[in-house]
Amino acid sequence: MGSSTGLKRNQFILLMGALTTLVPFTIDMYLPAFPILADVYETNASSVQLSLTACLLGLAIGQLIAGALSDMHGRRKPLLISLVAYIVASIACIFAPNIYLFVFLRFIQGLAASGGLVISRAIVRDVSSGPELTRLFALLMVIGNLVPLIAPSIGSGVLLFADWKGIFMLLTTLGIVLLLLSAFRLTESLPSEKRVPSNLKSTFGNFAGILRNRQFTGYALAQGFLIGGVFAYVSGTPFIYQNIYGTSPQMFSVLFGMNGIGLIMGSYAVGRFSYRWSEKKLLETALYTATLAGAVLLAVVFIQGPLWAVVIPIFFFIMSIGVVGTASFTLAMESQGHVAGSASALLGLLPFILGAATAPLVGIAGENTAVPMGLVIFSMCTIALLAYLLLAKNTPSSTAN
């Protein structure tokens, strides 16, 4: 690995992990400021949630672009360009004069942030395979999942000393640090002879070929629908916890951080127990767990249960995400070889497309009900389980490219 990347193993893992954190920081750090943004821009909850939707759409579209470009032109150059664009977009968000321009700039910010996520995963696939790939992805997921644990707390901490613009100043700084590290410490991992042709027809051909793989599609749908439910939770809980249950921004961050611990536990479990149980078995167990948790959550919010009764099923739902995200990604990527960038992009596309659709739905009935959030989460869990059972469970493993 060291000869392929020019970095020692630990440095390589830390840099790849840092690049994957750009997306969750971009999504999660500003969540405690949702009610503040609604006041600043004199708008409602759904309009503020639309800024999250725009960011998720940008992340979805950006992954397709960055993934394809990285397969054509190598990993390093598209990564550096995306980081420069992220810095510019983050600065622009600070000066957005109205909610409409803010929403648009969040789309651009998400578009740029996607490069760090999709290209870092493709680099990992370039330099590893088999059990080593599983362990590396598990480590990256643990690092990446630390961010939801701390990002809202950092955001609420910033709000104690500055206004919401301080959060975006911090995101700008993060982008600058990642750009400098990538520019000076990362070498190219995809040799010229392994790159795919640089034309539109070939790009769509790669995407179509990947999607014809029944097993890949099953894992992609299972992961995509389940994580799509996460964004209903992400966009709904800032208002549900603070407006319905009366928690402070700091308590919201604590509750959000607890779920981050669950996410890390799930990701760690895949790496820890993959020698004892297959990734498929771990994935299936997690999908059943998530669906049960979603059913309990829906029942609790329907009867307007207490806060603790909402928090517990959400914790198990999020913990299942840690398992599903790691196991499904590893199983799907194992067979993709030289088109790892495009495969990584497709795996990342569906969660953000579905997240963009679900994020505004949770506020459609107003800010004083949690039923839409519960309904969306339960529906996404059920569809994810069915996608795995129907497409991936009994499909033989593909041979790596």
Encode pLDDT of 350-381 as tens digits: 777 777 777 667 766 556 677 888 898 999 99
245 located within any domain: yes
401 located within any domain: no
What pLDDT is recorded for position 181? 92
Q: Pick the residue with more confidence: 154 or 394?
A: 154
Q: What is the pLDDT of residues 238-292, one digit of tens each?
A: 778 887 888 887 788 788 878 878 888 887 777 677 667 777 888 889 999 999 9
CATH number at residue 42: 1.20.1250.20
Please state whether the predicted TM-score (pTM) of the whole model is above 0.85.
Answer: no
213 located within any domain: yes
99 located within any domain: yes
Q: What is the pLDDT of residues 173-230, one digit of tens each?
A: 999 999 999 998 887 877 777 777 666 666 677 677 777 778 888 888 888 888 888 8
96 located within any domain: yes
Average pLDDT across the chain, whole number: 82
Question: Sign of dihedral through CA atoms 125, 55, 88, 161?
Answer: negative
Confidence of residue 5 (pLDDT cuts 50, 70, 90): very low
Residue 147: domain span: 7-187+198-392
Count: domains in the chain: 1
Q: What is the pLDDT of residues 76-118, one digit of tens each?
A: 899 999 999 999 999 999 999 999 999 999 999 999 999 988 8
| 8 A C-beta contact, residue 222 and residue 392 | yes
Length of the chain, please?
401
CA torsion 323-328-334-335 (nearest 10°) is 170
294 located within any domain: yes
398 located within any domain: no
400 located within any domain: no
Confidence of residue 42 (pLDDT cuts 50, 70, 90): confident
pLDDT at 340 over 60: yes
